[in-house]
Amino acid sequence: MSIIIAQNLSKSYPVAVKEPGLRGTISHFFRRTYRQIRAVQDVSFEIAPGEVVGFLGANGAGKTTTLKMLTGLIHPTSGNVRVAGHVPVRRQESFLQKITLVMGQKQQLIWDLPALDSLKINAAVYGISDREFWERVGELTEMLSLDGKLVQPVRKLSLGERMKAELLAALLHHPQVLFLDEPTLGLDVNAQVSVREFLREYNRRYGATILLTSHYMADITALCDRVLMIHQGTLIYDGSLNGLLERFAPYREIHLELAQPVSTEKLKFYGNVKHVEGRSVCFIVEQEKLTRTVSRILSDLEVLDLTVTEPPVEEVIGRVFEAGVV
């Protein structure tokens, strides 16, 4: 049975329309007119317990609006949604005990106090006993490598340490469903890797369901087998990440290290040249022509090294967003 069910979920916002000039200002003051902005349009999907699903879309595509409807922060204009058996907008205590929302641009920890003080406040809010509190803090501190950091004022922690402490605070009540909106935003590479490893282990250990948005494709490829893609408020893809790549990347990249430089004009004979840098060359070749092209290159050119790779995920998804359809 699905733990998250969204059926024809839509959200529209009224936006005031004002004509330019003094007359427009006066008219706007006494008699306002509005137009409707559709942030999300008829989005439907289901997520099974324990799934880790990537939620992709360009800025303004409707990702955060959808997450806010799933967590009950805003009411959908139309459609139905159930999370862990609850209607989110009712914000029942039993529902709030089962979910958490982490937004990379927001913080819940008190800036000038040690993170541990904020955690104690969270424990009181969720009715967590002292014994459970210290057990959970100890376990999550170990998983997040935060030993000795929780007694420092939050403002003295590095950005990566603050993000880990925010995750600890959000997961203190052991939620079943995690809604993560850009959790690695702004973190350096090492901190991003650390957060990914934690989320993978948390999912494995507790069977938590995770819906993750991120602009860092490494987050998606490392954690998610399935992706949802939203474009201009409409869900345009729901399926495996590999399926997306196979469908929209019907080509491969051939990377060569040549014994000596070869002119770009000559290289064009073998395929679409993506770039040339000295003796290093990258071709883009249609998949059905791959074997024939590789054989021709090895026969005609003096090759020191040859590697065939899939195109970067970022490029594939970028092309899908540009097209707007799947």
Give the predicted TM-score (pTM) of the model: 0.80
- Residue-wise pLDDT tens for the chain (326 aa)? 899 999 999 999 888 888 888 887 888 778 888 888 899 999 999 999 999 999 998 888 899 999 999 999 999 999 999 999 999 999 999 999 999 999 877 788 999 999 999 999 999 999 999 999 999 999 999 999 999 999 999 999 998 899 999 999 999 999 999 999 988 888 888 888 999 999 999 999 999 999 999 888 889 989 998 999 998 899 989 999 888 877 776 788 899 999 999 888 889 888 889 889 889 999 888 888 889 999 999 999 999 999 988 777 777 777 676 665 55
Residues 167 and 192 placed together within one structural domain of the fold: yes
Residues 275 and 238 placed together within one structural domain of the fold: no
Residue 182 backbone zone (phi > 0: left; psi -120 to 50: alpha; other: beta): left
Element (H, E) at 118: helix 115-125
Q: Report d(CA 68, CA 174) in Å as an integer.
A: 20
Total count of domains within the chain: 2
Residue 316 lies in a domain: no
Q: What is the pLDDT of residues 21-57, one digit of tens each?
A: 888 788 877 888 888 889 999 999 999 999 999 999 8
Integer CA distances (angstroms), 206 to 47, 197, 199, 203, 222, in order: 16, 14, 10, 6, 18
Tell me what the pLDDT averaged over the chain comes to.
90
Nearest to 168 by CA among 120, 218, 131: 120
Residues 279 and 300 placed together within one structural domain of the fold: yes
Q: Report d(CA 315, CA 248) in Å as an integer.
A: 10
Q: Report d(CA 20, CA 10) in Å as an integer.
A: 31
Residues 276 and 198 placed together within one structural domain of the fold: no
Residues 236 and 259 placed together within one structural domain of the fold: no
How many C-alpha atoms does 107 have within 13 Å on its Cβ side?
Answer: 16
Nearest to 40 by CA among 19, 59, 25, 62: 62
Six-digit token string for 173: 């009540």
**Residues 261, 265, 269, 274, CA torsion sign:** positive
Residues 143 and 92 placed together within one structural domain of the fold: yes
Residue 50 lies in a domain: yes
Residues 211 and 273 placed together within one structural domain of the fold: no
Look up the domain containing 68 and give its range. Answer: 4-245
What is the phi/psi pair of residue 218, to 5°? Answer: -60, -35
CATH classification at residue 291: 3.30.70
